[in-house]
Structure 1
């Protein structure tokens, strides 16, 4: 169980009323989609461990835990004990890491066992996991006979590990280093040194063209404090002379030099040029923010403040993305500015080995699967041009910029077009037009016409709805009859009418695009595999046998999977290969006999997508439907219980009445 699962279950166990998914998402600071996925995971947990307790769901109302009261109380006690055990173990591991990284000489197992009041075997067990953690930074845990344990590695690796340790010890939710946070790390870094360094950075930040984010300020503060600590212990960063000379030409080096001088005065430490170069690297890789005021200064003036390389790469990337989404993205100044500034920092981070973890990676991939897949497919060109490898954590940050731009376009969509049909005089029609314009700014009145010219106007103006002062026979456009004076109660009725026209359809296929491309001959039920690459190869071979793809398609799909997991939630993965090997668009589906591990997630359904659509709208609809399916518990349950291929196929082909 994840920590969030426990929090969610505890919340439900202490609530006697139905709780909406929205409320739960707000409570746990995550998306509604995450809550739905968590609830499914808890269903399985309860079924196995506490079969007399169930999570009941009611559409539009919420969820509630039901079952025997004694059983519920036992579950609550068990969760509390589980929390205490986890917290105790996690805390001890962090303290062990801290002891190893701050020790000036080897530490024996017995000393650690005495320090934490546990047996040597418990310490030995913890060290297995800690050793892997240290190795991820390039550090090695050396066991010296008769001396003890000692960590060895490069200075850069030491600092990266110490930085990560500090992040684990403090809560960076708000990216502040308050008294409580400083107290937690006082035996790693001196609180007064951190406070002083942060103050100097924030003062310097006020003179920058683009201010540092709070996250960057805290990160830079920690890195410099670690540098000071290591310098005082006689450990300094080594830097290639040519790299240092290159850094000294940067504006950021002058800022780092000024900052270093201030810190030297306050903390009585000599900071070598190589260390100033190292601080410069962190300045170059720091994420920055910009405000709307920058946009108002003028786009060209603003873009002169960033390097031309990032600007050219981003312009080309936006152009490519716009071809697959919306051409108006090329006119979005906010996207161009934000992504260029972000990319400037990204390139500096990647080129200098300063990797960044994106805590929202999984959520971004699930919620925005089409933009993520699109950017990931285009990123190779960027990598070749910039001569860097861009990991999926950085791709996900780029996706956020793109998604924000797409949503801005969505909010700027055309207004609902209205034609007023009036059989009386112009005075009446003007009064109606004035009232509607004042009450409904989301409407655009495109024409005021007579009954005689109505069909002609509908053909020319293509309105979304009609407002008529006289009853009309059948029209191809929704119509509401109103009185010439439009009293208050009619305005309220009109409001509801507009809502229905905008949001509801008579009847629609919920997964129309998905169903369109599924070949029933490529639905495989209850196949047995334990490895994700094996199931990808199996389905790809079936596509090849049926002539939909060429033989290399399977290998390209496996290569794509190793770049980034295609899991989208709801037990669904959507592997896919390169377009060049596709003969005809199709979707093949494999339902696994039991869920398998898919890069840390559990997958039951594999939808292999082979598409060479040239219609961007079709692609977007397909990915949106897949995303909707991952949250559609009722349909997923039907797919899991279907006993025949026809029954499985029809579950995707069902109709639904309501929101479109």
Structure 2
């Protein structure tokens, strides 16, 4: 039976019919007005449609996609496209439209009105609502349905905003939000246009400009994903203000229930300026709500820690890497970039899987095709770990991107042309693209992976070209757009772009500023090396080991006794406040090193005056994680905003705790041997940085 097709699928099939030669996903995206990610997302369903006519899609590396099959099948497909009207909305699109419609109004909606708009039956709408009810409950909201009354979403305004942000995260890409005004998803689909309106996409750049006008230093220091989360949250709030959906001053808990509104004065100034733009007067509760957002992104729970996630997570990444080494024979253990990328990604991936978040990876199909062996290795490796959750292929593909980037790093060459990268899919795609560029284009010097907002503001003299995987809010001739997998066709396109845009041909900077920039780069590296050596020397020199008599003490008393040992050392100006932070951190995640009696207690705080590493051997073991006896505690402390070199060194030390020899020394060895071992390992770390 021939299936219904959407308008977008019709456009893709027509393009493939009209182009009897290969056509790239980027060319398809440009022709039908969507992102490349959307093309990959639609490709699987499109292939199923073509199978009904005896047709297939062939993908040729470096060339593109081509439709294959008998002429009779091609003729039947052309006839079908002339006769068949496309289905207006898929089931998924319908539910998005319904959620947006319900959450954007305070009045109940009639089922027949939704059915008429979506061109389906009332029974179909009712079935959709049955499926949406559980999703809505995740945010503390209720789907109210009564005969003769209609349907509405009831609950707190702050919870509705959380639901909108989640809806955007599940169905929109960064390119949909920050593209240069084209709104690629919305242009071809009224549903996604409605979602973009619901999240306040038209106000996002206004919000961003106002945020930068505040001239706060912390804004520029936010990681890209956190910055985008903040922009989306603020844009949703502004959209809600515009349509009269505000948080009342009484009766509702605000500040996202996550903070004590420490950034209240900054939030008040931000809201005041936005009131002038919108010609509105907002209640105090909205100021507290915005302060909650600022608190969350400036000082989330993980920002006070010194290692990625908990120690158990680090052990998991170590096991994952170890299995990949055994299966491939490649030295993945030596790649710090791989380890850090995996730690960051796995923590977020586990959260997505456990929260039931819909996981999208539009690069799944091409990754399977281009890295079949590695995909199988990582899938088998994950299965070998026997996790208590099911890891979908989409997440496996993300992991493959990290390991693929690590494999590419084996072939680095010296570069002379200066390029910066902007990617929408996170660290994994940006690193994979960077390594493919380094391998395929020896004339490029990759100066770093930056976010789109950083790229838009970087002085032009600091780079020769911008390579991006998304549309950027800047002039089209200032950057070139490619896919994360970098096809052969895109390499040729990039070479032509370099020859036309970069002074002196493929990669040489102009004679006037080249030496100066190179000199500044060298000076910057020297300062970084000096900072690393300074941090290593300070931590090793000030490392101390104490025997702690804690018989009869519980955990708070033991930590209090540890703080007393630091008295007069210059490490902290408020031992009681630091004790409270350490206890809060202990509740967040496991601090015990797997399969040992050693625990790592660590935090960042304004009450820490200098980075510190201290070892305590306990007279009486502590019971942590419900059943594990701990006899040794390593205490790692850093100021709230330490130099990046300090964080690098402390993070490296935390990773070294997976070394059984270091664990043995910490549990049993004398202080001089521990100091010597740390010195040797950190010296090797420093030498590998150069």
TM-score, L = length of structure 1:
0.43
Give the number of the structure with larger relative contact order, counting CA–CA contacts within 8 Å between residues 6 or more apart.
2
TM-score, L = length of structure 2:
0.41
